[in-house]
Chain A
Amino acid sequence: EVQLVESGGGLIQPGGSLRLSCTVSGFTVGSHMTWVRQAPGKGLEWVSLIYSDGTTYYADSVKGRFTISRDNSKNTLYLQINSLRAEDTAVYYCARAPPYGDYYGMDVWGQGTTVTVSS
């Protein structure tokens, strides 16, 4: 069964750092993978994408502060978040691109992990 499980969220002070993890099973994390976030009561916001070849893309709102990476040996995707701001408060989802679709699609999603930035 294809599954993604996020972890690493929590309450963090402005300016702090956090590393989110997304452990996958049923497929290899070396696929195209995406992070999406959703602020409380708001819509979906794309955050970052990593191609199977390691090429990365970021939303302008997080460029320079967030870093997407993965460890194939642990079948885990990461999102390093630095210089956290109040507007980064959101549920963060990881998702897989569909093998039958496009690199920017998302066919299986994790349950999300909540990041709250507050002093």
Chain B
Amino acid sequence: QSVLTQPPSASGTPGQRVTISCSGSSSNIGSNYVYWYQQLPGTAPKLLFYRNNQRPSGVPDRFSGSKSGTSASLAISGLRSDDEADYYCAAWDDSLSAVVFGGGTKLTVL
């Protein structure tokens, strides 16, 4: 059972907009920045967002991140087939003194 809660799956058709949620608590998302990672099949994870909504260079602006209270969201607009991947949220947890991950969301492009 992951400390951060994500839906196990999400889907959309090409061109659509999809959103992936990440729910936590006051000790993690509520008091620290959220990071998002994309893991394409068979590859290492890649940083998608740091500090809630900051995109590293090279990440398309079709991707957006947000945070409100103890929840965060990742939105992908103009969905493409190569967006099919697992997406993970993460944050520092002050109570656990640990990095906590969400269980991951498998995105399928129909």
Contact = CB atoms under 8 A, between A and B. Distances in A.
Interface of A: 34, 36, 43-46, 49, 57-60, 93, 98, 100-112
B99 A102 contact: no
Contacts of A100: 50
- Main secondary structure, interface of A, reads loop
Contacts of B51: 101-102
B99 A49 contact: yes
6 nearest interchain CB pairs? A46-B99, A43-B104, A101-B50, A109-B44, A104-B92, A107-B47
Interface string B76-110: 00000000001010111000111111111000000
Nearest to A97: B50
B44 A102 contact: no
Interface of B: 2, 32-33, 35, 37, 39, 44-47, 50-51, 54, 56, 86, 88, 90-92, 96-104
- Main secondary structure, interface of B, reads strand
Given A43-B2, A43-B88, A44-B88, A105 B47 contact: yes
A102 B101 contact: no
Contacts of B33: 101-102, 105
